[in-house]
Amino acid sequence: MPEHKIYKMNLQPRVLELLGPSLYTNIYFVLSELIANAHDADAENVFISIQEGIIVVEDDGIGMDVNDFNNKYLDVGRESRKTSDEDKTEKGRYKMGRKGIGKLAALSISNVIRVMSIKKGSLEKAGCEMSTSVPESKLLPAIPDEEISFEYNQKGHGTRIEMVSPVANIPRMLKTFKKNISKVFPSQIDDFTIHIAWYDEVVELEDPVENLLEGMDTLKVFLDEDEVVDSDSVDAQLKKYYGDFATIPAVPIDKKADFKVIQSPIRIPLELTKKDGEVANFVLEIKGWIGTFKQRQASNKALDFSENFISIFSKRKLGMYNVMDQITSNRMVEMYIAGQFHIDLFEETELRDMALSNRQGYQSADLRYIKAMEVLKRELNEAGNRKNRLKRYKDNKKDVKQIQKKKAKEREFTRDMRGFVENLGQTVGVETAFTPEVKSGIQTEMKRLYGLKSEVDESKKMVLISHTSSDKLFADIIEELLLESGVQPAKILYTSSEHRAARIPYPHEVYDYLRDFFVDSYSEVKPFVIYLCSQEFNSSWNTVLEAGAGWVTKKDHSVVTVNCYEEANDPLEKGKMVPNMRISDISNERAINLNASNLADVIKYVCKKEFDMAIDHTKITNLAKTRLIEAYHNSTGLE
């Protein structure tokens, strides 16, 4: 007669009924707990089976007998790591579990689960059914030994958990499922492999982090010093730990703009109170990675998770999926960033447990959490800055190509004009040469050159704001007034502009651009120059060169002086007085109005002469007045 096995839950039934369904909000959090249990059972393989009407997690760990069931597994809330001596498994792995409630995870998505196990060594079988409805006796239905077996596990020992009729959102594609598993269990652990039985297909989960890095264009990784090989390139080290990452560009423009960064873990010394009341020194060590995607990641409910996240893991177990909303309010930055950080001090056995019951957050008042959030906020901001630098680098490459195309057109026009003039001169010297065919050819060539000239002229910038970097505050006002009047950024040449189209792409200099496209050009189109004169103007080499280019081209210009610069003279026509933008006394409303009106006059003149556009003089005057007052406050620090 078979032995009658008794399984008794050590928990009030009402607590299980209330706690089970609400403990975990997502199937992947559930699976993460079950994978962690397999890890702590010293399994080498864990299988996640997705089939119609059932989800199974099966491992080849040490398994359980009836005593293990009753004294450990069914003793809900039994802390598995009370002292540092209990930190590791028999294999020497650091335990992921601690609270003793992860075993209830499966009840969050299934009202009935079947837990079956075979003990390593004795091969004793044990198993019972669990549900959210537990009788007052706390006795659970036993599973007969003949029904206890494994489908994927070939070792003959381990544990199998069946979630019957689960209520869970399973994605249609295996790739999506694997990626989501990687988000909640990213660790690549020696002698521990995650397998996924996806209907009729069984696959291994490759490097979890590599699944997440697909589509990224910047990355920063925190590695232990003993993992970094100085002789390896950054690419080689990233490939060693995070797979093929060759799509990230090399260092552009300057050495500070490196988009692939490896550094040592961040370490912060802390003085903390242990569970026994003793104050001791600890180190908050933060490892992991943070990167940005090439494209903005749209929200997709079918994925269960946002593609943009900053997760926290402790002892390789997920503690909080996304802390993004706690460290930034910049939604545009969030749409490009993802990261995973490992902070083992959050699960230090000697310290009080700071994890929330559902393993989806931490107590925000804990000093460890506060200091970690300060670091993550800084790293998120730096990641956003790297993304911006990369965007500028890519934009610059595009702009350089555009400049090269324009220069090619300019050279073509200059070459053909010289050839045309030379050939025409030779033809004029021969009376018999003006045949109808020759005249027709001349007319055709003139039409072609005129079309090429129009194309060259159309691509040129029409207004140059000549300034020193120290006067950017005021030069920005000039640019804003031009833009508000309808001038396109591409028609403005302003090297300090926030608008990409108005700047000269690196490594071109403004005087090289002026020489190539205006001084040495056959085109009659020359830029209208607005000189922003100040005390620093005469001592700036760049502005002197720009003034020299203006003098050579004899192009029309206007002069605006900054603040209290007394030498309010035209730099190209000595002795000619120009408007003086005096904003040192904002209490003098008449002076402010006059300066604003003078600025509007300059903008009106430029727009009419270069673009044949009329402006709303009153509107531009009012805007100029507002900006001049703001500039005064910004330059003096007054409120």
**Chain segment 392-411, per-residue pLDDT in tens:** 777 777 777 776 777 776 67
- Per-residue pLDDT at 248 exceeds 50: no
- Per-residue pLDDT at 390 exceeds 70: yes
The count of other CB atoms within 10 Å of the CB of residue 275 is: 13
In sequence order, the β-bridge partners of residue 530 are: 465, 558
CB neighbour list of residue 203: distance below 8 Å, 6 or more residues apart: 174, 178, 195, 196
pLDDT band at 251 (very low <50, low <70, confident <90, very high): very low
pLDDT at position 85 is 72
pLDDT at position 500 is 81
Give the tokens for residue 565: 């610069």
Closest CA to 102 of 293, 476, 281, 355: 355
- Per-residue pLDDT at 177 exceeds 60: yes
Q: If you write DSSP's letter for every residue of 256-314 in order, what string do you get?
A: GG-SEEEEPPEEEEEEEE-TTS-EEEEEEEEEEEEEEESSPPPP-GGGSS-SSEEEEEE
Q: Is the Cβ–Cβ distance between 399 and 493 less than 8 Å?
A: no
Residues in the chain: 639
- Output DSSP code: residue 526: -
Mean pLDDT of the chain: 77
Q: 77 or 610, which is more confident?
A: 610
CA–CA separation, 316 and 347 (whole Å): 10
Give the tokens for residue 233: 């390139």
Lowest mean pLDDT among 187-196, 600-609, 621-630: 187-196
- Per-residue pLDDT at 115 exceeds 60: yes
- The β-bridge relationship of strands 492-493 and 337-342 is unpaired
Region 523-550: mean pLDDT is 70
Lowest mean pLDDT among 99-113, 129-143, 402-416, 448-462: 448-462
pLDDT at position 195 is 93
Q: Is the Cβ–Cβ distance between 291 and 303 less than 8 Å?
A: no
CB neighbour list of residue 429: distance below 8 Å, 6 or more residues apart: none
pLDDT at position 548 is 59
Model pLDDT for residues 34-81, shown as the tens digit of each residue? 998 999 999 999 999 988 889 999 999 999 999 999 988 888 777 767
pLDDT band at 368 (very low <50, low <70, confident <90, very high): very high
Burial class (CB in 10 A: 0-12, 13-18, 19+), 422: exposed
CA–CA separation, 45 and 297 (whole Å): 33
- Per-residue pLDDT at 337 exceeds 70: yes
- The β-bridge relationship of strands 201-204 and 125-131 is unpaired
CA–CA separation, 186 and 460 (whole Å): 53
Region 325-331: mean pLDDT is 77
Cis peptide before 507 (omega within 30 of 0): yes
pLDDT at position 618 is 93
Give the tokens for residue 451: 């079309």
- Per-residue pLDDT at 141 exceeds 90: yes
pLDDT at position 639 is 41
Question: What does each C-alpha distance from 470 to 511, 543, 570, 632 come to in angstroms?
Answer: 19, 12, 20, 14
**Whole-model pTM?**
0.63
Main-chain phi, psi angles of 54, to 5 degrees: -160, 140
CA–CA separation, 391 and 332 (whole Å): 14
pLDDT at position 547 is 62
pLDDT at position 157 is 96
pLDDT at position 257 is 43
- How does 124-139 read in b/e, with b if 16+ C-beta sit within 10 Å? bbbbbbbbbebeeeee
Give the tokens for residue 284: 């908050």
Q: Which amino acid is at 409?
A: K
pLDDT band at 615 (very low <50, low <70, confident <90, very high): very high
CA–CA separation, 548 and 550 (whole Å): 5
pLDDT at position 441 is 63
Model pLDDT for residues 468-519, shown as the tens digit of each residue? 888 888 889 999 999 999 999 988 888 888 888 888 766 666 666 666 655 5
Q: Is the Cβ–Cβ distance between 332 and 377 less than 8 Å?
A: no
Q: Which amino acid is at 18?
A: L
Model pLDDT for residues 552-606, shown as the tens digit of each residue? 555 678 888 876 545 445 555 554 545 555 555 566 788 888 888 888 999 999 9
Model pLDDT for residues 283-315, shown as the tens digit of each residue? 999 998 999 988 877 655 445 567 888 999 888
- Per-residue pLDDT at 2 exceeds 80: no
Region 83-88: mean pLDDT is 76
Region 211-234: mean pLDDT is 68
pLDDT band at 523 (very low <50, low <70, confident <90, very high): low
Q: Is the Cβ–Cβ distance between 601 and 454 less than 8 Å?
A: no
Q: Is the Cβ–Cβ distance between 202 and 281 less than 8 Å?
A: no
Q: Which amino acid is at 494?
A: Y
